[in-house]
Structure 1
């Protein structure tokens, strides 16, 4: 007796790099993890703040014992309470209330987030603080350093257990947008062929267009003429204009061409997804 089988649902495989942040909807976020060195500096600052608080608390306890405000029998309990407050309670409260930040992380421009990109909460902060007692305080950061070296996002043991990572909060500003095709050559740009322009030469042209206004006038004319001479063999037809306007038009036409090609690829990918 023949048996029929019903094909199962299609399975979508999502590939991601080890240092990418993937949301629950399988969307890769453009989030920059902070490097090992900066993260170590931030942790060191936080630990130094903790040491200062421990010293201040110890001095306060000593003063209370000297003034008979605290009996000697309670010094042990008070010391343990001080350690718990500084090593666990305070880091948990600061991290929860500041949504993943601390004094050290503010200094290096970082914050703690979940590995799916969401904000870390109280549960993650408690786990990180408890594990931090071992890997940061009891071993002077040795365990955290060893684990951080071998993880893609410089995660320490507490991060791995809590499902968190440290991301950058300070990123470099985007460069200004390159100027488009000069209006005088707008008609030429519609028929111009700039596809043969080599990528390295195109990068030089784009760099000149972005920085031309800051150049010395004599140097600006000289560089524009040199680039126009280098670009001419790869452009057809050649417009009748000055070298700088020509170079600017080539840069704008190539950028528009690449943008149109990218949009076309996106439309084709969307069409294939809808058919699937």
Structure 2
């Protein structure tokens, strides 16, 4: 069974998705374990040739290393390179994301892989009993590795429902570029995104009250108060848009600039030009009036 849950993708788009529960995650786990057992069987055939030459201690050491690499390295490598998907999750349409909806990175995949081997499934997990019990008790089907890594497994084959207003207000673009957002926690960012996605559904007084409270929390966290005359929703949109832009910049590969090729060419003589008559200067138009409230209300 799956449970309805609202999450935010790495591109800061709110989706009505389903958190993957025990059934779908169990099927994905079966696919992954089957692949791991096949790889382990092939590794044992290769290592048996080492033991046949009489070096059983070396064969045993290599087997233990191979066992850890297959059982831990397989999910870590796949979830890191594919942003949260192993082969089993690809087959079932699942993906591991952070609790704020952002893509997982190596540290998240490593914590999940180690916790899965030592706690959830194999070493102390009683062949998956710990993972099953934890998943059943969790409202979003999370296991111990998900809690330790701050992740969640979702069903990604779901239609998008609505896009919140998280664009950068042009008036705050330069101001937001100077902010230190490293201390902004994922939980608070998710709460702000959910607030911005529901501004059109709330009464104006509720939008103002909730926005003011969230803005005060964000300001206390990042150390940047709301600029004078800026609505709370615009302040929150600027902070989240800047945070999203920086996260996306980290995921982009660096651009390699090479030396452009040099093609020698003959220098052509400069053409003779005739003097051009200068146009008569026109009087400048009067400046346009500045609106009292330059921020458009959120949609």
Normalised by the length of structure 2, the TM-score is 0.49
Q: CA deviation at 1:45?
A: 1.2
> Which ranges of structure 1 fall in alignment gaps of 5 or more residues?
1-16, 175-262
Task: State which of 137, 140, 152 in structure 2 corresponds to 1:153.
Answer: 140
Q: Distance in 2 between matches of 1:267 and 1:34?
A: 29
Q: Please say if residues 5 and 17 of structure 2, whose CA atoms lie closer than 8 Å, have aligned partners that are also in contact.
A: no
Is 1:113 paired with 2:100? no
Q: Which residue of 2 aligns with 1:100?
A: 84
Higher helix share goes to which structure? 1
Q: Distance in 2 between matches of 1:155 and 1:50?
A: 22
Runs of 4+ in 1 over 3 A off after TM superposition: 17-23, 26-29, 263-268
Is 1:44 paired with 2:59? no
Q: Which residue of 1 aligns with 2:122?
A: 137
Q: CA-atom RMSD, angstroms?
A: 3.4
Q: Distance in 1 between matches of 2:76 and 2:21?
A: 23
Bigger relative contact order, structure 1 or 2 (CA pairs below 8 A, ≥6 apart): 2
Q: Which residue of 2 aligns with 1:72?
A: 56
Q: CA deviation at 1:71?
A: 2.2
Equivalenced residues, count: 168
- Give the secondary structure class of the aligned counterpart of 2:17: coil
Q: Please say if residues 112 and 167 of structure 1, whose CA atoms lie closer than 8 Å, have aligned partners that are also in contact.
A: yes
Q: CA deviation at 1:137?
A: 2.4
Q: CA deviation at 1:122?
A: 0.4
> Which ranges of structure 2 fall in alignment gaps of 5 or more residues?
162-197, 209-230, 234-299
Q: Please say if residues 19 and 153 of structure 2, whose CA atoms lie closer than 8 Å, have aligned partners that are also in contact.
A: yes
Structure 1 residues 153 and 78, CA, compared in 2 at 3 Å: closer, same or farther? same
Q: Distance in 2 between matches of 1:29 and 1:173?
A: 5
Structure 1 residues 171 and 76, CA, compared in 2 at 3 Å: closer, same or farther? same
Q: Which residue of 2 aligns with 1:204?
A: none
Q: Please say if residues 16 and 159 of structure 2, whose CA atoms lie closer than 8 Å, have aligned partners that are also in contact.
A: no
Normalised by the length of structure 1, the TM-score is 0.53
- Give the secondary structure class of the aligned counterpart of 2:153: strand
Structure having the higher Rg: 1
Q: Please say if residues 76 and 110 of structure 2, whose CA atoms lie closer than 8 Å, have aligned partners that are also in contact.
A: yes
